Structure 1
């Protein structure tokens, strides 16, 4: 007489196959969950990089020229110093005095120093700047250069690339801003 039912071997094989199938389904769900999580977080990281670049661009666009009546500044320049990872720009306060805004990267954070007060604009961010000069005031042809104490007056535009990293995601944004008040016009017709 033959017994009917499932043998121990058949039960073991069925359990192993079921576990493999369930593991595959679980891996598939985890991959979908991670993709959805990245899809939800990536726009926020990208927006943070964009907002950082546009904040710096807005400030540089409005940078004020230092005049001979101001002290401790480079006369006829909108910025005091510039490097590939930072810039010191001038700003006219409501009381008419000139102050400095220093954008830089410190300890992996993009920060601004305004009137001695430091604010972090982006934790886990980076900033790369490119500087442009032109042969004439209204020229559309810009050339890159490295400004120093004597050539900072010729600064006409700044290329800004920002990057923000958070939770394993990284977003970046690049823009170029033309300084409204620099370089100083040589004549009224410029």
Structure 2
């Protein structure tokens, strides 16, 4: 099938004298591989950073979108209307929460994580922003395991957490766990 597709794309390019839109879109949406296993094509949601499998109907919609004069230079340019349902409903079934193997109460882990994040910035305004994010997590009963399983960056931003702080909050949990464990063994 891949050979047939390649021959068809080559014939299309030869007939039109221009590069195939299909080939460019396939190349752009090629799945990067581990830890993603959705391949061969996926779309990484720029907000939640989750990957969603792309199917033929997605590609057809993307091609129509490009043929209408729109640009698609990076996966972030994916129009919202192309995934057949909004990204938040496309999420795969939630996986089990994998314990972090960090002792202590879940809310205390969030507080320690917050302290670690604050230690990485100098400005008081940023330290306060990290505190605000952690307080929000605790107030909503969220712990690091839940955030790690479902890193909802959009939720934090909607609650007025600065984007950079939100990115670090949802993205640095594994790094904190490594440093926490390293500090305990030293």
TM over 0.5: no
Structure holding more helix per residue: 2
Larger radius of gyration: 1
Structure holding more strand per residue: 1
Higher relative contact order (CA 8 A, sep 6+): 1
